Chain A
Amino acid sequence: MNVYLVKHHSLVNAIRFVFDVLWGVPSIVYGAFGFILMVFLGVRASLLAGIITVSLFIVPIMVRAIDESLKSVPRGLLESALSLGSTRSEISYRIFSREAFQGIITAILLSFGRAIGDAASVLFTTGYTDRIPTSLMEPSATLPLSIFFQLSSPIEAVQDRAYASATVLISMVLVISLLSRFIGNRRN
């Protein structure tokens, strides 16, 4: 999008538009889509199904965030590298990726933060269990669903666990946000 297709403005704009639209799709829709896929393929609720669904959900976020950081790389760098005889793959992976490295790390952390806090996309796909998963084909508990299920309980001790899950989740998201902010500031 920023090296090979740099001259195809309309195509790049169309790709960006598609990812922007996908970014705006509610995560429950991704969850429902993942569930339909699971039914079609005969796969039960499992960590793998959750990983695939959540990865579909965070793909637009990751692509647009990396794209934005790559857009900040000066165009002159591309022209200079081309004039020196660099191939486009060398420019992509040796120059642009290095220039935007911190932006890419920030994008990955942002995506991770969205993935860890989303409940709707894993509601149908990951299942819920009291055990720690030992394989990809086993269901797994997640913090957002732990809050959802345990807060519904009338037993106070179980509700307390939901609050503990919420505290842990907020702390994790906070650490990830601060880390991505720190990396972003270093880049600037």
Chain B
Amino acid sequence: METSIFKRILAGAFLLLPGVFFSIQFSCQGPQKKSGDRPHGTFSISGAFALYPLTVKWVEEFRKDYPDIQVDVSAGGAGKGMADVLANMVDLGMFSREVTPAELEKGAWYIAVAKDAVVPTLNSANPFKEQLLSKGLSRERGFYFGEEGGILNAIIGSIYLSLGATFLAFIIVGPLPCT
């Protein structure tokens, strides 16, 4: 694998500001003051893989000050983070792309917490290598292979896979119970 020449261009052009989205409300188990003194409760965070390592570190530090507050962190991608937080499934969503107006309309609120650069790398055996190197890659003129379509690909893929697996399993061990 070799790092492409786009590294220099894109490290600047694709600077993203990963944001953390706070849901409108804390969950019913959110931080509360104990009858005694220390706050306790739980809250959950899910979202971008890019922010996961940082968040884990922050949570570790947070626990030192608030040992009675349990924080659950899970990574599932920025899309999942947004979907979860808008559906009130988690308290915080980790997000690593720009917010769309539709998401803002739904009540998403964010703050930027880190900077992140996307650095495309190119396999030296990539069949499109020459094409990529000659044309370059930019945010406006990116490469997109394949077409996002319906679910026909998944239906056909599932049938291929299941038929193949069933056939293979039957060929291999089908006669065993008959022996």
Please determine whether chains A and B interact with each other in the same assembly: yes
B-contacting residues of A (Cβ < 8 Å)? 1-5, 47, 50-52, 54-59, 62-63, 66-67, 70, 92-93, 96-97, 104, 108, 111-112, 115-116, 122, 126, 129-133, 136, 140-146, 151-154, 159, 161, 164-165, 168-169, 172
Q: Which residue of B lies closest to A54 (CB)?
A: B165
Q: Is the CB of B161 within 8 A of A130?
A: no
Identify whether the interface residues of A are mostly helix, strand, loop, or mixed. helix
Pull 30 A–B residue pairs with CB atoms less than 8 Å apart, ordered by A. Answer: A1-B178, A2-B177, A47-B157, A47-B160, A47-B161, A47-B164, A52-B168, A54-B162, A55-B165, A55-B168, A58-B169, A59-B172, A59-B173, A63-B173, A70-B177, A70-B178, A92-B178, A96-B178, A112-B166, A115-B161, A116-B159, A122-B161, A132-B152, A132-B157, A144-B158, A146-B151, A152-B79, A165-B154, A165-B155, A168-B151
Which residues of the other chain, A, contact B162 by a CB distance below 8 angstroms? 54, 112, 115-116
Q: A63-B176, A129-B146, A143-B151 are known contacts. Are A154 and B82 too (CB-CB below 8 A)?
A: yes
Q: Is the CB of A154 within 8 A of B153?
A: no
Identify whether the interface residues of B are mostly helix, strand, loop, or mixed. helix
Partner of B77, one of A59, A115, A126, A152: A152
Counting CB contacts under 8 A, is B170 at the interface? yes
Which residues of the other chain, A, contact B77 by a CB distance below 8 angstroms? 152
